[in-house]
Amino acid sequence: MLTKEYRLKKRTAFNATYKTGNSCYKGGITLFCGKVKPAEREHIKTKIGFVVSKKIHKRAVKRNRIKRLMRESVRLFIKNSNESFDTKYLSLIFVASAKLLDKNFEFVNEQIKELMRKLYD
RNA sequence: AAAAGCAGCCGGAUAAUCGCGCGGGGUAAAUUAUUAUCUUGUGAGGAAAGUCCGUGCAUCCAAGGACAGACCGCCGGAGAAACUCCGGGCAGCGCGAGCUGGCGGAUAGGACCACAGAAAAUAUACUGCUGACCACCUUAUAGGUAGGAGCGAUGGUGCAACGGUGAGUUAAGAGCUUCACCAGCGAUAUCGGAAGGUAUCGGCUAGGCAACCCCCGGUCGGAUGCAAGAUUGAAUCGGACGUUUGAGGUGUCCGCCAAGUCCAGAAAAAUCGCUUAAGCUUGAGAGCAAUCUCAAGAUUAGACAGAUGAUUAUCUAUUACAUUUAUUUUGUUUGCUACUUUAAGUAAUGAAACAAAAACGUAAAAAACAGAACACGGCUUAUGAGCUGCUUUUUUUU
RNA sequence: CUCCUCGUAGCUCAGACGGAUAGAGCGUUGGUCUCCGAAGCCAAAGGCCGUGGGUUCGACUCCCGCCGAGGAGG
């Protein structure tokens, strides 16, 4: 679980992020980016959401497992970047696909790192 | 020993690092709300699942009647209630221990019963049998049958044919208030708390289907679900209908209530509800049991894009392998030794040898089903490795 | 959370208030036609009616439990 300042919570916020339409894909994870931050909201931190659809698997245990793996790897990424983690986007959403079933932590961690590197480029 | 049946248990433990939710405490900022940070405590299940039943709880309508509707259906008990549980009966299945059952009514009525078959439900038809009776014919005290009359044995199809088998009676026949046994119905007696069992007697017979409609008996205030609902705050401030000539509301109608209702748009925050309970553990008592009563004790999930995670280490349950040197246990042999007694026997303890098992050793090693979302009682379904107790059948040994 | 509907041939659908061999179109395969193909014409194969039980003489149909798919309201 991320701390509260990083969490993306509102339904409207999710919809707004999808509408913006910036996305990229790597190894079973799709990353959606929201709007670029306006000048007056520079101090707000980037909010991050995770989505695992019911279509991927029927059982809650397997869906939660994927979500937890993604969340853990993002947490470690933020921690390793010396607590000054921030991007130019308002929000990020990670959407998992069926490829991630039965994958271990190392695999998920690699994909997240790749996606993050793309963000900064 | 093998194969079964029933009941029950278990659903890993400890530690480290980095994190998350919630509660308590401290520090800092601030008018408060609160925010940041430190510390400490704590954080999924036997099914948390499916949502198939039931209940609490909450709001709205009503507190009355009729109709409609839903549910239940052998008997007794338990329970808040239940498509719940326990005990008993009956029926079916199994060699048996046991298991299964949606188990009121077909004489209140309607519908349906394909193919086959004379006939599938009023046995008035068809196919047949009879010559005792009526009638008639003839070769006339006998023989016969256009008809009447009697009969339901004959018809072999079908899941099912208006009781079955055998005998008697008869012209032929038949439950024919003739007989024996069996099935079914009714009455009486008796056992039982009841369902029901048993015995005797009686009349003389009733197709199936209610998991089709239906009938009988019984139960039920209705609707909506914690996104119920309550409080605070914020935003929008347009339109339509309506206030006794009644918008709208309750399954329908009568009746009753009734001042707001609907559409569009906007805002979508916080707190409460929220976890101390028809609950859990232990002990005693009542009961065949379900369960109940009493006493004591503990109480530590509560999220809201939704915490319980990631990475390791050690230990066990368990599995596999190797080995009898040492340790323990069991069995067999020897008869050193001991005893009884005179050439044999006995083996409690000790001794030696052999075999088996356990532990030790080495390697692998928690992996199944699965994640709380208002709570509880059931049901159903999913599920790893095993363990315990009782019972049955078969085989072997004593 | 509360409800509803549907699973039939490779695909899209019929059928049905119980009665037996479950149909149609497209597709597939073979033949015919043509110099070759398409279209046309002729024929064939392909189904345990999602799954497990029950009621019944008999179940795709009636009843119950599961599995899967889709939808509605807040």
A92-106: per-residue pLDDT in tens?
Answer: 778 877 777 667 777
User: What letters, b where the CB count within 10 A reaches 16 and e where it falls short, cover A15-54?
Assistant: eebeeeeeeeeeebbebbbbeebeeeeeeeebbbbbebee
pTM: 0.73
pLDDT in tens, A30-56: 777 766 665 545 555 667 777 777 777
Bigger pLDDT: A102 vs A111: A111
SS3 A2: coil
> Which residue's structure tokens are 């998992």?
A96
Is the ipTM higher than 0.90? The answer is: no
Number of domains in chain A: 1
The pLDDT score that the predictor gives to residue A83 is: 46
Q: Which domain holds residue A91?
A: 4-120
Q: Which residues does strand B reach (CB under 7 angstroms)?
A: A 1-5, 7-12, 14, 49-51, 59-61, 64-65, 67-69, 71-72, 75-76, 79, 104-106
Nucleotides on chain B within 7 angstroms of protein Cβ: 18-21, 36-37, 44, 268-269, 304-311, 370-372
Residue A90 sits in a domain whose CATH number is 3.30.230.10
